[in-house]
Amino acid sequence: MRRFFASSLHRLVLTYGLALLFAFAVVGGVSLLAFDRLLDRDTRQTVQAEHEGLMEIYRADGREGLAQTIADRVGTPINREAFYLLVDRDGRVSAGHRNELTVALPQRAGWLRFPWRAAPDSDDVLAYVQALPDGGWLLTGHTTGEERHLRELIARLGLVMLSLLALLTISLGWLLRRAVDRALEASLDTVDRVAAGHLDERVPERRGDDGFARLGRTLNRMLDRIRDLVGGIQSSTDAIAHDLRTPLMRLKTRLEQARLASIDEATRGDIDAAIVEADQLLATFNSLLRLARIEAREGAPMAPLALDEVLLDAVDLWQAVAEAQGLRLRTRIVPARIAGDRDLLFQLLANLLDNAIKYAGTDSDITLALTIEGEEAVLTISDRGPGIADAQRERVFDRFVRLESHRGTPGTGLGLSVVRAIAIRHGADLRLESAAPGLRVCLRFARVADMDEMS
């Protein structure tokens, strides 16, 4: 329920639905009140007309003629809702639907409402009472049973209509949510892919000039601008790396020559430290150039290959490194074929295994798994190290980003940038997840059918 109200669209649909239901309830209530008044007015008009007719008989034939007329109408009723009562001046009933009077009669002409019977569910009688000139009273009225039944029928019909309107509102709200979700689905998926590093992705543009069409065009302009800015930064970085690599190589060569020429041990130690720093700089620039080539899609074309074989080769190479650090490499590998570049995939695995060995800690396990899920080959590498906080998992793929807790470890800050570039090159979905404890790197590759499956 909390997730439902967390959605702005759900709240909007609910608000408009409740407003519509409230408006319908108000209109229905006012209509029912107006209907009640209309029924009451019609009943009073009918009673008044019958009362005037009886008074004409009274004026023409006197009390006896009026009593006989009332007795005839009671004996052979034409209108079963009619109520008549002729009362003497001493309060005795001389003609009508009752033998005795149970209500007090007013001295002046007016309207009176009283129950038809003593039962709790009895209908009411709406009667007009008038004192006769020779004493006594004439009551002419109608029972309200039919009006009550009609009112209840209208009320039930209103409740049914309100329920149907609520169902219709829920259905329309659900359809509206589905329509908005579908309209935004392609845009949101594109933004997610761009956030994962696929900067060439664009939102499908809709025809027209509505909000969704304008949103698509605006997003594409924004994505074009982002690609240009990121491309400019990457081009500048790559150009700097390329231009500085040759001078650094010459610097390292001269340092090595100076070391050979020096006979002072202290001087040799200083030169060795400078050579280590130069090697670190060269490694950084080499990583930048490698990253530039991957992002430029240079290299061998994609071809079907056995991903499990590449993974086993990487495990053979890094097994000894892991054991030297007191770590154990555990593998669960099934055959899987994908379209890819073997060298780039090996580089991806090398970077991930290097990171896992750095941060897994001593006397720990690193698990490599390759499984098949539908049409995807799923590669996971898990360690038992400190892991990466949720808020930092996207940021670590950026160039030169190193978390504060990892500042003391060797590295260029480009390893995961290279991993993401290779994953994008292969169309793989790359995610960092919690291994509770530790970090799990999950890559999903599209499978290609091998000869056995095709046969």
Q: DSSP string spanning 211-276?
A: HHHHHHHHHHHHHHHHHHHHHHHHHHHHHHHHHHHHHHHHHHHHHHHHHHH---HHHHHHHHHHHH
pLDDT of residue 373: 93
Which region, left, alpha or beta, applies to residue 305 given φ > 0 means left and ψ of -120 to 50 means alpha? beta
Q: Quick one: tokens of 161? A: 């209509």
> Does residue 423 share a domain with residue 379?
yes
> Does residue 327 share a domain with residue 274?
no
CA 29 – CA 340 distance, rounded (Å): 70
> Does residue 308 share a domain with residue 429?
yes
> Does residue 103 share a domain with residue 234?
no
Burial of 256 (0-12, 13-18, 19+ CB in 10 A): middle
Question: Cβ contacts of residue 74 below 8 Å, gap of 6+?
Answer: 84, 95, 96, 97
Stated as kind and residue range, the H or E segment containing 12 is: helix 8-75
> Does residue 313 share a domain with residue 422?
yes
Q: Which of 276, 295, 314 is the last residue of a domain?
A: 295
Q: Quick one: tokens of 371? A: 């499984």
Mean local confidence (pLDDT), 101-109: 72
By residue count, the chain amounts to 455
> In this structure, is residue 229 part of a structural domain?
yes
> What is the tens place of the pLDDT at every residue in 227-254?
777 777 667 666 666 677 778 788 888 8
> Does residue 375 share a domain with residue 319?
yes
> Does residue 388 share a domain with residue 260?
no
CA 325 – CA 354 distance, rounded (Å): 11
> In this structure, is residue 196 part of a structural domain?
no
> Does residue 387 share a domain with residue 249?
no
Please provide the average confidence, as pLDDT, over all residues in the chain.
81
Task: Work out how many domains the chain is built from and give that number.
Answer: 3
Q: Which of 295, 319, 349 is the last residue of a domain?
A: 295
> In this structure, is residue 201 part of a structural domain?
no
pLDDT for 388 beyond 50: yes
Q: 414: closest CA among 400, 403, 430?
A: 400
> In this structure, is residue 37 part of a structural domain?
yes
Q: Domain with 439 in it: what CATH number?
A: 3.30.565.10
* Band (441; pLDDT cuts 50, 70, 90): very high
Domain interval for residue 255:
211-295
Q: Quick one: tokens of 257? A: 């020559």
> What is the tens place of the pLDDT at every residue in 318-367?
898 888 888 999 999 999 999 998 888 998 999 899 888 888 877 888 99
Mean local confidence (pLDDT), 369-373: 94
Q: Is 201 helix (H, G, I), strand (E, B) or coil?
A: coil
Burial of 172 (0-12, 13-18, 19+ CB in 10 A): middle
> Does residue 290 share a domain with residue 320?
no
Q: Which of 123, 149, 175 is the last residue of a domain?
A: 149
> In this structure, is residue 353 part of a structural domain?
yes
Q: Domain with 216 in it: what CATH number?
A: 1.10.287
**Beta strand ranges found along 44-184 (DSSP E):** 82-87, 93-96, 110-115, 124-131, 137-143
> In this structure, is residue 167 part of a structural domain?
no
pLDDT of residue 454: 40
Q: Is the pTM of this model over 0.75?
A: no
pLDDT for 455 beyond 60: no
> In this structure, is residue 155 part of a structural domain?
no
> Does residue 141 share a domain with residue 13?
yes
CB 439, CB 385: distance < 8 Å:
yes
Q: Domain with 69 in it: what CATH number?
A: 3.30.450
Question: Cβ contacts of residue 446 below 8 Å, gap of 6+?
Answer: 338, 339, 375, 376, 377, 427, 428
> Does residue 366 share a domain with residue 279?
no
> In this structure, is residue 192 part of a structural domain?
no
pLDDT for 451 beyond 50: no
> Does residue 366 share a domain with residue 326?
yes
